[in-house]
Structure 1
Amino acid sequence: VPTYVKDSSNLISLPSGLETPFEAQSDYITPNDQFFVCSASDTPRIDAETWTMTVAGDGVGRAITLSYRDLMAMPHKTVPAYLECAGNHRRLFEDVLGEPLNRRPSMTEVKWGLGGVGMAEWSGARLRDVLRQAKIRDSAYHVCPVGLDVGLEDADGIRVPMPVTKAMHPDTLIALTMNGDPLPPDHGFPARLIVPGWVGTYSIKWLGRIDVTTAHQWVYRNTELYVLAGDDWPVDASAPSKGAPITEQTIKSSLALPWPAELSPGPHRLHGWARSPDAEIVSVEWSVASDETWHEAEICSPNHRWAWVRFELEWEATTGTHELLTRASDKAGRTQPDRVPFNDGGYLFNMVHPHPVHVR
């Protein structure tokens, strides 16, 4: 279990992670001290005065080294974006679908509930501005950030590559602040990547260098760890990876209630959070599982491309055990599915799921 800097007493301790109790997500912005953490090792303590970051590789015309002050002096952009672990909702594969986890012999999966996600305003330099300083070549193929934290898979830093097109997107940031404050140590101080709409592993913390190559980079995280594998995922289609590499997030919605929840009979105004990988949410519907009628929930927050939205609904609770369902749709035409195929890593669970509620 990694060692963290923040006080974790109000968070749920998991192997390699701290989960935010989802029922505590009441505000649009997740406070830094309540934001979930997923780390492969202890939080490194880094001195910004001596820290530097290097950009190099055959995909750039010249290698450059930047200090914290260099990045602070560059033009900054603020991007409101949720950050979510690819394994968030993993426990629901067991709880809802009855699919046992931990099917990968060499790994123990972190059993995230609903709270491996948080919403923040990130500010920093655009990654593309840094790559342009290094004279990124037209032939560049992969941009691979490397962290200063060390995991079992990479002795000299956690890494995962992304295509140049995503790296050059104007909203992909080298973030220096989180919700207006310097990045907290657990969240990547002094500098981390923020890759909106993609699973959290791409938002590498504690940046040390960025490798830019003209060839495809195969690393542990896109060949073994963050891949969709199992009976429903043919291996041959993804070779040399052991499954389809995971990049983009999926559309989701969940109620901000304990699991299971306990309520008193009578009227309740409930809320939850819906998000999409790269489009505004256009609607959230809700239903009681015993009733085939769907109702429109009210969207009650800003609605940005990379951000989540708060939705609210009025429910007249009657005594007994109920299951509440929510279903989000986005501007790109995506809607949460009624079912998702299982994968051995328990990733990307986003089906319409029954939230158990006991009314007594």
Structure 2
Amino acid sequence: MKFIKSFFAIAFILPMFIFAQTKKNITIQNNSALDRKETIVSIKWETILLHYPQIDTTGFVVINSVTKKQIPFQLEHRGNKTIQNLLVQVDVKAKSTLSLLIQKGKPEIFVAKTYARYVPERKDDFAWENDKIAFRAYGKALENTKENAFGFDVWVKRTDRLILNERYKRNEYHIDHGDGMDYYHVGFSLGAGNMAPYVNDSIYYSANYRQWKVLDNGPLRSTFQLTYAAWNAGGINVKATKTISLDAGSQLNKIENVYSFEGDKPLPVVVGIIKRPENGTIALNEKQGIMGYWEPTHGADGTTGVGSILTTPLSNMMVTNKQILAKTEVKNNTPIVYYTGAAWDKAGKITDAKQWQNYLNNFYQQINEPLIINVK
């Protein structure tokens, strides 16, 4: 009898032991001296499947292993039918490690924090936002009108709600109704960090975008592509596709541009920020590729900070009468990645030039000291 009881005890304990042994932890390690707040972490879906082969994409939750609370997540497709990445939004203190678990369960409904859409009712605008800031690019229908502009536009916000649809429905962008407004001027410039060929000391602007495609639309990251028709850049025939991502919690977009052009030589390009006639604060760091601008205050509308961070070596940075430019080069059909965005003092988070430059410097550090992810 003792043998039989022992056998059944072992038979009962063994599955529990096996389950415990197969339980996986996702560790997110922050080796930097910066706290990482509201950070979006991307984990390859093939890695998740390797460790969780039976995962039900409609019935799992991500848990903080210490607090036991659910973590917001998104299944990222990047325009594909199959899942490419698992995105999670986390806080990880400096020099520390966060542990997450994946288990069966009903995910909580987390508020969407990013959004992007084509806006046919406003002359082919393409607009996008997160819980911090909003932007738009201009489409074909705006060409040959007095409103036409070439660069990226900024819509400042002082709410974490998604407000694009409300503003377009109201058809009034230039008055702050308590959530922000559009007072940023783009005109014949690169606006808030657009990129264009720079040949023989001249910028060659494309026409406005011709095609759009949404690859993912929140809740934590929205990604889309804008395609531009061929144009003549100082005797070079050029085409461009721009893939833009905006993460929840971030002031900056990630932009991946692919230029197609004739010839074997790299194409010189610039990232530009429009400069105002009045005095603002300009901070340039050629070595690290950081270009920061704290605009002059625009009356009662407040102050906008604009900045770009390039990830490729620069030949130089320039300040002209009209724009602040960072010059680099691209290879034919080879992606070039950089970051660009803005902040508004009335949002109450970044309220002066020093804070804006600190934000850009910290963002640069985060790019170069990424969080380390392990599933074990």
Q: Same fold (TM over 0.5)?
A: no
Greater RCO structure (CA 8 Å; 6+ sep):
1
> Bigger radius of gyration, 1 or 2?
2
More strand by proportion, 1 or 2? Answer: 2
Please identify which structure carries the higher helix content: 2
